[in-house]
Each structure stands twice: as C-alpha cells, then as structure tokens.
C-alpha cells in the first residue's frame, strides 16, 4: 500500500502534484529577492510545478487564464461522517480524454500537454497518449493554439513545440521518438526563469505572430 | 454512508454524473430514430447530461471541442492491490477554481457554467460560487466567450446568458436573484432538441456575430 502525503500548497489549477515522491514545496520567491547572483533555473521543480507556478503568475498579473485540469476520478463510495465533510472511500483513476492544460490568452484558445524526460538525445513518442494526440488535433482544427512543452530535465532545456509537428511525428511510420535535433529545429526553446518560472507565453506570442503573418490577419 | 453507483456511460468529459439520485442512463438515440412524432424535449435528462451529450455531438461532428472538467479531488491514500489497478481509499472533494466547461470553437475560447433551478420565476444568484464569477470575469478580460446556461427545469426553458450580465447582477447590491424576465431580456433562449440535445452553439454564434459587429472586425 502506498500512502500519499497531503500537500497543502494551493495550486491555481485546483490540482495537487500528488504521488511525486521527491516533491518539494516550491520555495517562496520573496526569500530570493536579495540574491541576484543565484541561478534560479528550475529550482529543482518538476515541469508540472514550473508550469503551475507560471500559470499562477499569468493569472495574478491578468496576462492569461490557464489551468491544469484535475485528474479524472471515478467515485464509487463516499462516506458522510456526521458533522464532517464527505470522505471518498473508494474511487479509481480514469483515462482523461484531453490534454492537461488549456485556457485563454488574448482571445486565443491555448491547449497543451507537458512532458519531461531524463533522456538527453531524444524524446520517446510513447510518452504521449493517443487521446492527447487526438485531442490536440481536434483543437487545431478549431484554430486553437496547440503545443507541447517538453522538458529535458538532465539538460535543463525546455521546448515549446507546435502540436502540428508532434502529431506528424506521431503518425510517421517507424518513428518511435523525436530527436533532440528535430525538437530544436521545430520548437521555440524557453529558459526556465524567475517571473514567471517557465515563460512559455513567449513562444505562444511567436506562434500568434506567425499565424497572423500567414493568414494576413 | 451513501454509496454511489458506478455508471459506465463514457462521457466525453471524462467525468461522471455522480451522486445524482435520479440519474437515468441517457437512452441510446438510435432507438428513437423511427419515432418522429415523439417530443424529444430534454428526455428527462439533467442539464449536465444534455450539455455532455451536446458536447459529444459537437466533438464527433468536428464542430467544437468542449469538455466538462473533472471534479477536483484531493487524494490521500491509494492501494495498489497485486495485479490490479490502483484503488483510491481516501480522498476529499476540493473547491474548483474555474467553471465546469471550456473549450474551443472556430478559434474562439468558450467558457461557461451550467445551472438548473426548479424555481419558476427567478434564478437565485447564490447558485453561482464566487470562484466561478471571478473565473468568468478573468476569461472575459482575455476576450473569451463566456456565458452561463440556466435551465428552468419546471418550465423546460433554457437560457444562454452572457457572463457580463451575470457578473453585473452578482455585484449589484441588494440583488439576490435574477428574475425570469431579466433573464429573458438578457439571454438567448435555446430549445432542448435532438441533434444536439441542447444546441447552445446557436447562442454562441450570435455572441460572435455581435462581437464582430461591435469590434468592426
């Protein structure tokens, strides 16, 4: 039996980074303010934590509204102890039908999946689930801005890759991974930073600019 | 102790209509195909069921990608019985920080909350939670298309109301509800139908047309 730990950090998404054995509570930024020389790069946070912190920053600053979707759970049994709140006593993880993140930025619909790998030379495509690829494709057809954020944790490098490229690689025969070089050539690299932790909207700005140029809008 | 029932209908949202005492499994549409004279109006479905069915229809037809967000759950204890999948043994309902539905339609970000009332003359504003109002407001500021779907179940009438109106009523002093007349005057009424069950995108089309007219886009 594995017993998770309740982590009381409130994530903007309403979702907890559960079951991460090495989860560290994100350090409070203010404590860093005087140490300009420190390298803030990712601060030992998982990619999910970095994105959640970035989304919180974007939300508080009125820049964008992006949330992580809660994990879908199938609830079977609930207890209502007297004077106490409901306790779920039996439930199961369910398969999601979408990506983890979506939201709105300057009128644009954003939809993305985030994945990290310890691999240094390529990103295995099996890390994406079929439903995520299908969902990204469906959102692309509705003119959403769809992408993936891939983190090479060993290299501390982060790439925002248009979903169109990932989908085409996914459907490519005999292709089980994207090489780092392919990702470099087809993505916008973002640097893990401070405010926000992972400024992925910089890449989105580029996608929007490209789209406007292509559409003549 | 209340024991819920596992309902195996697969919702597009990955979310089950749990804990609805009178939940009926939506009848399969094909069974109705030959009975043209039947009044299909809402077919005893809850508003949530109607919206989920509509979203499934929109998704299958490639018209829009809208999903209900899963209920956020805080997981505390999980068992991994041998050769069997994980069983959540202790978890709690958490407060959501968004509305229930969002998605993308023709490049537009959609965000909405759906509520129903048995009331016949007004809709009590306390049915909306503060976080839902704040979230709709934040999405409006990002130029999302934000609204509510209010169902008067006793009247079998359904209204798509722009979030701007709901938010202004929410902030109005001494205002505890929206009257049916106010809702009629500030909404687009939609008829519960067949394909899709609740064609709320007809109202969205009108919002988009209004916006284009106002923006001169």
- As averages over each run of 10 residues, the pLDDT of chain B (217 residues) reads 37 36 40 43 84 98 97 94 86 94 98 97 96 98 98 96 97 93 98 92 97 81
Reference B162, options B127, B133, B188; nearest CA is: B188
Q: Is the pLDDT of residue A154 over 60?
A: yes
Confidence of residue A31 (pLDDT cuts 50, 70, 90): very low
Pick A131 or A6 by higher pLDDT.
A131
Q: Does A76 touch chain B (CB under 8 A)?
A: yes
CA distances from B88 to A7, A23, B189 (A): 17, 20, 42
Q: Read off the pLDDT of residues A82-100 as tens digits, 9 standing for 90 and up.
A: 777 899 999 999 999 999 9
Reference B199, options B65, B99, B50; nearest CA is: B50
**DSSP E strands, chain B:** 2-3, 65-68, 73-79, 87-93, 101-105, 108-117, 122-124, 145-152, 157-162, 177-179, 188-190
HSE of B158 in the Cβ direction (CA atoms, 13 Å)?
24
Distance, CA of A28 to chain centre: 21
Strand partners, A95: none
CA distances from A214 to A110, A205, A209 (A): 19, 14, 9
Contacts of B100 in chain A (CB under 8 A): none
Whether domain A36-215 has CATH 3.30.565.10: no
In the prediction, which pLDDT does A179 show? 97
Cα(A205)–Cα(A198) distance, integer angstroms: 14
In which order are the strands placed within the sheet that holds B65-68? B65-68, B101-105, B108-117, B145-152, B157-162, B188-190
The residue among A52, A57, A74, A129 with the most chain B CBs within 10 A of its CB, best to mutate, is: A74
Mean pLDDT of chain A: 84
Residue for token digits 């999946």? A113
Q: Per-residue b/e over A165-203, b at no fewer than 16 CB within 10 Å?
A: bbbebbeeeeeebbebebbeebbbebebeeebbbbbbeb
Cβ-count burial of B76 within 10 angstroms (0-12 exposed, 13-18 middle, 19+ buried)? Answer: middle
Cα(A51)–Cα(A205) distance, integer angstroms: 17
Token pair listed for A178: 């994207």
In the prediction, which pLDDT does A167 show? 97
The residue among B55, B80, B88, B139 with the most chain A CBs within 10 A of its CB, best to mutate, is: B88
Q: Does B9 touch chain A (CB under 8 A)?
A: no
Domain layout of chain A by residue ranges: 36-215
Whether domain B41-215 has CATH 3.40.1350.10: yes
| Total residues found in chain A within this entry | 217
Q: Is the pLDDT of residue A2 over 50?
A: no
Torsion, Cα A196 A197 A201 A203, to 10 degrees, reads 140
């Amino acid at each position: 039996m594995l017993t998770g730990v309740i982590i009381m950090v409130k994530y903007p998404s309403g979702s907890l980074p559960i079951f991460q054995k090495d989860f560290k509570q994100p350090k409070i930024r203010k404590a860093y303010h005087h140490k300009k020389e420190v390298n803030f790069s990712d601060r030992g946070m998982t990619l999910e934590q970095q994105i959640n912190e970035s989304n919180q920053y974007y939300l508080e600053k009125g820049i964008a509204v992006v949330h992580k979707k809660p994990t879908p759970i199938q609830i079977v049994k609930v207890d209502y102890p007297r004077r106490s709140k409901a306790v779920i006593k039996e439930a199961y993880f369910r398969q999601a039908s979408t990506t983890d993140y979506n939201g709105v930025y300057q009128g644009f619909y954003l939809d993305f999946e985030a994945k990290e790998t310890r691999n240094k030379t390529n990103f295995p495509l099996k890390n994406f689930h079929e439903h995520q690829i299908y969902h990204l494709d469906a959102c692309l057809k509705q003119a959403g801005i769809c992408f993936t954020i891939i983190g090479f944790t060993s290299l501390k490098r982060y790439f925002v890759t248009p979903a169109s490229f990932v989908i085409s690689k996914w459907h490519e025969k005999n292709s089980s991974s994207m090489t780092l070089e392919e990702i470099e050539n087809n993505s916008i690299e973002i640097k893990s930073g401070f405010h926000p932790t992972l400024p992925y909207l910089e890449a989105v700005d580029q996608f929007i600019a490209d789209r406007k140029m292509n559409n003549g809008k």
